[in-house]
Amino acid sequence: MQPERAFNWKEAVIYQIYPRSFQDSNGDGVGDIPGIIMRLDYIASLGVDAVWLNPIYASPNADNGYDISDYYSVMPEFGDLADFDELVSGLHERGLHLIMDLVVNHTSDEHHWFKESRKSADNFYADFYHWWPAARGKPPHRWSFFSESGAAWTYVPERDAWYLHYFGAKQPDLNWENPAVRVEVHRLMRFWLDRGVDGFRLDVIPFIAKDTSFPELPPGSTDEDFIAHYVNGPNLHQYLQELQREVLSPYGAMSVGEAPGVSCGRALDFVARERGELDMFFHFDLMSIDRDPGNFFRRRREGWALAELRDIFLRWDYVFENDGWTAVYLGNHDFPRAVSRWTADDKDNWYRAATMLNTLLLTIRGTPFLYYGDEIGMRNIRFQQIHEYRDGSSISRYRQVVARGGEPGEFLQELAETSRDNARTPMQWDASEHAGFSTSEPWISVNPDHADWVSVAAQTSREDSVLTFVRQLISYRRRSPALLRGSMVPVHVDDNAYFIYYRKAPREEILVVLNFSIDRRPLPCVAEFASFTCVASNFPVPEPGFVAGQVLPGYAAFLLRREV
């Protein structure tokens, strides 16, 4: 069943759900599809237009579902195909769309394609993956994101060859050069589209196409240079055009790529209308500004400045001025919680910090992806001990440090702020023992702050809550041509506390003012303040005309509007 409203993805707000952590329906401590169904009215009450669901396919869970062993079935912990169909119809009945995660750069090593592939060099699946036969000597160095050895090639004696895995050793990379692989990918996409799915989020999409000659890296290149050599292979655009033509277009399905390694100079190659490739993608520029340039998993010592963040938003907005479109996000299941990451205080200034960031997310030009829990200001849990972690990549990096004789204490301190497990703790529905997520011990600890305002129950009927603020802003956005489609015009771009911009449509202008500083700061004067009225704010705003020059609280945010 198709939803009644057509999927206008440029004007949509998309809510991301990490199914393992959203709602457990059967008391096993693991979120599941029937749990999501129980919460459909809540999801609709946010005013969002669509849900992006992280992977729910059968998987041994070496990487929480990003290692798929069967694309045609649902992970039993999450339910079955009947539950999935019920989810689709429940969403569609409420006018909501469903976006599935498509993970086709790699499969699980437990997928039958790989089980066959590893047996010999001359069976049908032999070339479904990238193999480096021992007869050619050792494979050229490639670095892996998640594997404990740090190397992206793993040797299989049966075949006397190494296979490639950019991620964990249990995640062998598919060989897209093989047309039979592409046929299989198209087939599995159609399977889900036929069940009513409205679009896909394409996991690490620039990684699918590689330079399969696997040249030696230039001397002196670091692991971080991998992006230049590992991704965006020569046939990438051909494969994406084929996907659009063969699968997405015939179904009118939406596509959003996850695109580490795509710079804004290359953006239009992916999303310009005439290219016929993707609708939009997630770039990684913002996700990198607080990271060490030599090591994506460590924070930059000197932190980041508002000027850098503003530059990124403006640069990417400029690229799409006349063509293409962008996805906007401040975090997801791979990064720490937004309020803990992008502000200096998620405690005393928590309400203003969380609402200010949600204002940014919902007012920048582009399609916002709201990560579950950010609408109630969920924060980093900051685990202190390694046994509390569940994420394989965090654990394998810890083991690497220990194996090298490094200082685990220091590493753990860093991990407490940077681990993606911070974003994977259970949704906080209420103040009860397991936060209303489950009746038993959850698969990963619940943040104790659920007893202290950070829950749906505590916030839902309060005027001054993050949740109420987000609901009001989403509903306001829906009615505002300037916020949906208007151009972005920044002002006071040299200010080091305030991020200020207009959104301008032919008959409406919105002025967005965000104080990125923890401190009270005088607001630079915008000549036209007096002609606007205030439509949303996270602190009591006097008459707009009086705001200019005033000292506003840290993380103050407000929206002004006028008709033109």
Known catalytic residues are 203, 258
* CB neighbours of residue 430 within 10 Å: 16
Q: Which residue among 203, 277, 346, 375 contacts ligand TEU (CB under 6 A)? A: 203
C-beta closer to ligand TEU: residue 311 or 334:
334
Q: Which residue among 10, 11, 28, 266 contacts Ca ion (CB under 5 A)? A: 28
Q: Does 439 bind Ca ion (CB under 5 A)?
A: no
Q: Which residue among 206, 260, 377, 426 contacts ligand TEU (CB under 6 A)? A: 260
Got the DSSP string for 317-342? HHHTSSS---EE-S--TTS--HHHHH
* Closest approach of ligand TEU to the CB of residue 44, in Å: 26
Q: Which residue among 30, 278, 395, 435 contacts Ca ion (CB under 5 A)? A: 30
- ∠ Cα 352 356 359 (to 5°): 140
Q: Does 290 bind ligand TEU (CB under 6 A)?
A: no
Q: How far is CA 147 from CA 70, 130, 151, 181, 506, in A?
A: 22, 17, 7, 24, 52
Question: With CB cut-offs between 5 and 8 Å by kind, which of ligand TEU, Ca ion, none does residue 28 bind?
Answer: Ca ion
Distance of CA 142 to the CA centre of its chain: 25
Stretch that binds Ca ion, among 10-18, 20-28, 220-228, 359-367 (CB under 5 A): 20-28
C-beta closer to ligand TEU: residue 258 or 279:
258
Strands (E), 331-426: 367-371
Question: With CB cut-offs between 5 and 8 Å by kind, which of ligand TEU, Ca ion, none does residue 26 bind?
Answer: Ca ion
C-beta closer to ligand TEU: residue 251 or 284:
284
C-beta closer to ligand TEU: residue 66 or 163:
66
**CA pair distance 471, 370, nearest whole angstrom:** 12
Closest CA to 422 of 469, 465, 384: 384
Give residues 150-169 in contact with ligand TEU (rule: CB under 6 A): 167
Question: With CB cut-offs between 5 and 8 Å by kind, which of ligand TEU, Ca ion, none does residue 420 bind?
Answer: ligand TEU
**CA pair distance 276, 102, nearest whole angstrom:** 18
Q: Does 19 bind ligand TEU (CB under 6 A)?
A: no
Label residue 551 exposed, middle or buried (CB < 10 Å: 0-12, 13-18, 19+).
Answer: exposed
Q: Does 26 bind Ca ion (CB under 5 A)?
A: yes
Q: Which residue among 334, 388, 414, 433 contacts ligand TEU (CB under 6 A)? A: 334
C-beta closer to ligand TEU: residue 285 or 334:
334
Closest CA to 236 of 177, 166, 285: 177
Question: With CB cut-offs between 5 and 8 Å by kind, which of Ca ion, ligand TEU, none does residue 66 bind?
Answer: ligand TEU
Strands, sheet with 367-371, edge to edge from the N-terminal-most edge strand: 280-282, 254-258, 199-202, 97-102, 50-53, 14-17, 367-371, 327-328
Residue 217 CB contacts under 8 Å (≥ 6 apart), including other chains: 140, 141, 225, 229
Q: Does 38 bind Ca ion (CB under 5 A)?
A: no
Question: With CB cut-offs between 5 and 8 Å by kind, which of ligand TEU, Ca ion, none does residue 15 bind?
Answer: none
* Closest approach of ligand TEU to the CB of residue 280, in Å: 16
Cβ–Cβ < 8 Å for 167, 144 = yes
Give residues 23-82 in contact with ligand TEU (rule: CB under 6 A): 63, 66
Closest CA to 181 of 110, 289, 283, 107: 107
C-beta closer to Ca ion: residue 76 or 215:
76
Q: Does 32 bind Ca ion (CB under 5 A)?
A: yes
Question: With CB cut-offs between 5 and 8 Å by kind, which of Ca ion, ligand TEU, none does residue 421 bind?
Answer: none
**CA pair distance 137, 332, nearest whole angstrom:** 40
Residue 311 CB contacts under 8 Å (≥ 6 apart), including other chains: none
**CA pair distance 35, 29, nearest whole angstrom:** 11
Stretch that binds Ca ion, among 10-18, 21-29, 187-195, 228-236 (CB under 5 A): 21-29
**CA pair distance 313, 335, nearest whole angstrom:** 19
Residues lying near Ca ion in the complex (CB under 5 A) are found at: 24, 26, 28, 30, 32
Residues lying near ligand TEU in the complex (CB under 6 A) are found at: 63, 66, 103, 145, 167, 203-204, 258, 260, 333-334, 420
